[in-house]
Amino acid sequence: MANVTLKDVRKTYAGGFEAIKGISLDVGDGQFCVLVGPSGCGKSTLLRMIAGLETTTSGAIDIGGRVVNEIEPAERDIAMVFQNYALYPHMSVYNNMAYGLRNRRMAESEIDTRVNEAAKILELGALLQRKPRQLSGGQRQRVAMGRAIVRQPKVFLFDEPLSNLDAKLRIAMRVEIRKLQRRLKTTSIYVTHDQLEAMTLADILVVMNGGQVEQLGNPLAVYQKPATTFVASFIGAPPMNLMPLRDAGGFQPNREGILGVRPEDLTISGDAPTGGLALDLTVEAIERVGAETYVYGLRSQLGDAPTVSARPGELPPGEVLVRLPGQDAPAIGQPVRAVAPREKLHLFSADGRSRLEL
């Protein structure tokens, strides 16, 4: 096992495009670090730099106390699990898992011990003589993980390993990966665009955007106190409601900034809490998803202040989402008042780049 430390790591491609813009990060021995962000944010590029599959333009990558910038991937003592499994179709499960060890000229007795131990951990014992085409997607992913485990590396690297699985299997495999990592206690760095996957797996959550780190820390702390409007809207499903202060139902009028409130922190009520937020809405749509109900409301009075432009996956300007427990909901077209106490509100600078105190 080992620490992984990045010091002002940068990656610039020919033509001047800077994909990674000075990232520093310290992943402790045995920790599970998740890099999360939208497509094109640089998370997979950063992982490939740690693996040695991409060169580093500047900065240092340290694995286990050794700077590895100039060290070949095979010599970095890491094991990588890819999105597409990368299994050899003509080989059995056993031989897929043993292949890398044989290339290292390891004794067959040791190979057999390692493969069977990994197969037991991953419940692959009955599948060792099958070919990849005879396996389900989840079984193939476990074989890919087994191939990494048998190497007994200092660091595991995961590049969106669950993205090819269906939703139900993704949940099951997510739980299995976390249980496995806790059992092996191997330092792990995991890339995903799925914020729920990131929240449930991470000891350290690193939210990336445009080649930079927007925020890092404990997943719950990032959720409860997002540092920017990007983090506030990206972490959390459904996303946080954001609105300019001057347009926030009279809350602290004439002050510049952006106010945020999570859908689950809003309730439908006629009474506004003292010092809190009150928004008059007209119900436009309702989604009942079992234990919860989503109420989409349009602001009754938007005023002349500018609205916050929505990015893909966010709510459109003027729309507010309220998440209610149970299945009771107001009728479509009904005017309602959505309220939230002051302690549940978030305040950001007008450009959305910093968190402010209320």
**SS3 assignment for the chain:** CCCEEEEEEEEECCCCCEEEEEEEEEECCCCEEEEECCCCCCHHHHHHHHHCCCCCCEEEEEECCEECCCCCHHHCCEEEECCCCCCCCCCCHHHHHHHHHHHCCCCHHHHHHHHHHHHHHCCCHHHCCCCHHHCCHHHHHHHHHHHHHCCCCCEEEEECCCCCCCHHHHHHHHHHHHHHHHHHCCEEEEEECCHHHHHHHCCEEEEEECCEEEEEECHHHHHHCCCCHHHHHHCCCCCCEEEEHHHCCCCCCCCCCEEEECHHHCEECCCCCCCCEEEEEEEEEEEECCCEEEEEEEECCCCCCCCCCCCCCCCCCCEEEEEEECCCCCCCCCEEEEEECHHHEEEECCCCCCEECC
| pLDDT greater than 70 at residue 63 | yes
pLDDT of residue 44: 95
Same domain for 166 and 284? Answer: no
Rg (the chain; Cα; Å): 24
Give the distance between the most distant pair of CA atoms in the chain: 76
Name the residue among 84, 345, 142 with its Cα closest to residue 240: 345
Last residue of one domain, picked from the residues 164, 195, 229: 229
Q: How many CB atoms lie within 10 A of CB 91?
A: 14
Same domain for 129 and 194? Answer: yes
Same domain for 205 and 273? Answer: no
Joined together, the tokens standing for residue 68 give 């590895």
Judge whether 49 and 61 are in contact, CB under 8 Å.
yes
Judge whether 125 and 119 are in contact, CB under 8 Å.
yes
Same domain for 84 and 155? Answer: yes
Same domain for 309 and 219? Answer: no
Report the distance separating Cα 60 and Cα 10, nearest Å.
9
Q: List the CATH number of the domain containing 253.
A: 2.40.50.140
Average pLDDT, the chain: 89
| pLDDT greater than 80 at residue 41 | yes
Q: Which residue has the higher pLDDT, 169 or 11?
A: 11
Report the distance separating Cα 43 and Cα 261, nearest Å.
28
Same domain for 160 and 40? Answer: yes
Percentage, residues of the chain above pLDDT 70: 92
In sequence order, what are the beta bridge partners of 43?
A: none
Tell me what the mean pLDDT of segment 237-249 comes to: 79
- pLDDT one-digit tens code per residue, 139-198: 998 899 999 999 999 999 999 988 888 888 888 889 888 988 998 899 999 999 999 999
Report the distance separating Cα 28 and Cα 219, nearest Å.
16
Last residue of one domain, picked from the residues 197, 229, 261: 229
Judge whether 162 and 170 are in contact, CB under 8 Å.
yes
pLDDT of residue 159: 93
pLDDT of residue 244: 83
In sequence order, what are the beta bridge partners of 187?
A: 155
pLDDT of residue 303: 41
Report the distance separating Cα 328 and Cα 288, nearest Å.
9
pLDDT of residue 197: 92
Q: List the 335-340 sheet strands across, edge first.
A: 267-268, 335-340, 277-288, 292-299, 319-325
Report the distance separating Cα 153 and Cα 79, nearest Å.
6
- pLDDT one-digit tens code per residue, 79-119: 999 888 788 999 999 999 999 999 889 999 999 999 999 99
pLDDT of residue 164: 81
Pairing mode of beta strands 292-299, 66-67: unpaired
Same domain for 130 and 214? Answer: yes
**Cis check: omega of the bond before 238, within 30 degrees of 0:** yes
First to last CA, the chain: 43
| pLDDT greater than 80 at residue 350 | yes
Last residue of one domain, picked from the residues 229, 256, 280: 229
Same domain for 41 and 106? Answer: yes
Same domain for 244 and 212? Answer: no
Same domain for 202 and 304? Answer: no
Same domain for 214 and 310? Answer: no
- pLDDT one-digit tens code per residue, 296-349: 999 875 443 334 444 444 556 678 999 999 988 899 999 999 999 999 999 999
Same domain for 109 and 26? Answer: yes
Q: List the CATH number of the domain containing 121.
A: 3.40.50.300
Q: List the 212-217 sheet strands across, edge first.
A: 78-81, 155-159, 187-192, 32-36, 204-209, 212-217
Range of the domain at 157: 4-229
pLDDT of residue 185: 92
Judge whether 237 and 287 are in contact, CB under 8 Å.
no
Residue tagged 């020919």 (tokens): 14
- pLDDT one-digit tens code per residue, 217-236: 999 999 999 999 999 999 99
- pLDDT one-digit tens code per residue, 77-90: 999 998 887 889 99
The total number of structural domains that make up the chain? 2
